[in-house]
Amino acid sequence: MKDPEKLIWEHAKSPTSATPRGGAAASHHRTLPKLLVLLILFVSVTYVVYTLKLVTNSRDCHEPPFSTHTHTHILSGIGLTTIPTINATASTLRLLNRTSALTRRESRQTAAETQLRHVVFGIAASSKLWEQRKNYIKLWYKASEMRGVVWLDDKVSSAGKGERLPPVRISGDTSKFSYTNRQGHRSAIRISRIVSETLALGMENVRWFVMGDDDTVFVTENLIRVLRKYDHNQFYYIGSLSESHLQNIYFSYGMAYGGGGFAISYPLAKALQTMQDRCIQRYPGLYGSDDRMHACMSELGVPLTKETGFHQYDVYGNLFGLLAAHPVTPLVSLHHLDVVEPIFPNVTRVEALQRLTIPMKLDSAGLMQQSICYDKSKSWTISVSWGFAVQIFRGVFSPREMEMPSRTFLNWYRRADYTAYAFNTRPVSRHPCQKPFVFYFSKARVNSTTQQTVTEYERHRIPPPECRWKMANPSLLDRVEVYKKPDPHLWDRAPRRNCCRVVKSSSKKKKGTMVIDVGVCEEGEVSET
């Protein structure tokens, strides 16, 4: 440790050094004392300013923010002519005091939390699929609380009349832009211009523009929870990647995938608007609208802020594995709902999503959040994806296995295997005894005495493969009941999985029902057997 100090010492003594470190080092040189005085002055002013800031930020303290005496002492202690310095410092402080009071008042006004009314949705839709796709929008869009515009390529007959849909508009003409990608479609250009076109409508009090497709379903309360973390007065481009590593390689690991939805702060949308048409012209060979957006963001120098609750879902098959092991972050969006199977079995896609809106209304912050616990007496592993499904496994699986999505879904590039996902996955258990027993969410209520939500999950009745293990058999259970207090402030705290506990029920009536309690982990509580 001594050698580096010595180096600095030597360095400081050298006359060519622009940044002398120690007072003693300066003694040999005539010019250095002046520099030193300036430096000390700078340091003391900085110190005073910070002290002041600390004091003024504390509401309870009404004492004078600093003691002039102390600073006189510090400065005179090293032999400076202190009077002018102090006066200058004092007046500077008074000024700073005034401005800090002013900014405090201002920030109290503008830092009012971001609400849904500060967001404008820009939805990319096509006239051909409108009749079918508008049903996804109806699931989440509330005309009385939200603002949004659906941008279409052509007129549609029943353009949202009497339906609770956003107003419909036809995108501006983009035939003057060139599009040379052979695989894609030139509608990518009109879709990438939606942010600028929505901005041009001149709505007031907008903090964020949120883009989505007509087959994107948003959990709007969670969208707001995510946006609240960021200062809307700055440049932000927020979204998430594709599940497919190959997609991310082909497009970019720095791009917000449009179907999963992404958010652009108001000032960034302003900056984009001034350059977007020129920018689009520079990339005629790109495939889609979101990579055009990404190209312009790169020109603006704004990187993607990744929020993993936006879901592009570039997969086929069954989303179950992904939904049963959601990352510890609020669920913001679901996409490609026409491509994957319905999220609940034996119902239509829209019916399945409608069912999901029940737990969404009760406790949006906790929707799809996983908790992992064990029934020690039976040696079972239990994984709850709140509001969606409960799984019971024979035997003990560690949380580090359970938090990995099981591969119930297929890769976007059909010939690719599990090495082509952009995250860890685990195989679907092959062993007949290790197949999970799945209970899907069926209904919910609130116990007004305990203020808890009671969600019920019914067993998916597919005949389980024969298992010869001599241990408790979960097929004796018909349903699982989960108690949980709504936790709207879940995401105001550091991310952490909830804990779950198997509740020993004594009543005979509940035969065939397992009762689970989900909530914030208690002191010392860990998911362990």
Q: Interface residues with ligand NAG (CB under 6 A)?
A: 65, 83-84, 87, 93-94, 97, 101, 346, 447, 449-450
DSSP code for 313: -
DSSP 380: E
Residues in contact with 247: Cβ distance below 8 Å, sequence separation at least 6, in sequence order: 257, 314, 412, 413
Q: Which is nearer to ligand NAG, 428 or 515 (CB)?
A: 515
Q: For residues 482 and 384, is the Cβ–Cβ distance under 8 A?
A: yes
d(CA 310, CA 330): 9
Shortest Å distance, C-beta 459 to ligand NAG: 10
Eight-state DSSP code of residue 160? S
Is there a contact between 311 and 333 (Cβ–Cβ < 8 Å)?
Answer: yes
123 contacts 213 by C-beta, under 8 angstroms: yes
Neighbouring C-beta atoms of residue 485, cutoff 10 Å:
14
Closest contact distance (angstroms) between CB of 405 and ligand NAG is 24
First and final CA of the chain: distance in angstroms? 46
Cβ burial of 43 (10 Å; 0-12, 13-18, 19+) is: exposed
SS3 of residue 272 by DSSP: helix
Burial (CB < 10 A; 0-12, 13-18, 19+), residue 90, is middle
Q: What Cα–Cα distance (Å) separates residue 274 from each residue in 190, 196, 199, 235, 376?
A: 16, 9, 11, 14, 62
Q: Tokens standing for 112?
A: 């009012």
Q: DSSP characters for 212-251?
A: EETT-EE-HHHHHHHHTTS-TTS--EEE---SBHHHHHHS
Q: Tell me whether residue 87 or residue 233 sits nearer to ligand NAG (CB atom).
A: 87
Nearer to ligand NAG, 117 or 461 (CB): 461
Q: In which residue are the tokens 């379903």 written?
A: 217
Query: Is the Cβ of residue 74 or residue 96 nearer to ligand NAG in the bound state?
Result: 96
Minimal distance, residue 89 CB to ligand NAG, in Å = 10
Q: Closer to ligand NAG at the Cβ: 7 or 101?
A: 101
Q: What is the DSSP letter of 6?
A: H
Among residues 67 and 205, whose Cβ is nearest to ligand NAG? Answer: 67
- CA angle, corner 120, sides to 244 and 388, nearest 5? 50
Q: How many CB atoms lie within 10 A of CB 334?
A: 29
Beta strand pairing call for 409-411 and 168-170: unpaired
Amino acid identity, position 214: D
Q: Which position has the token pair 């659906």?
A: 150
Residues paired with residue 210 on neighbouring β-strands, in sequence order: 121, 263
- Closest approach, Cβ 441 to ligand NAG, in A, equals 14
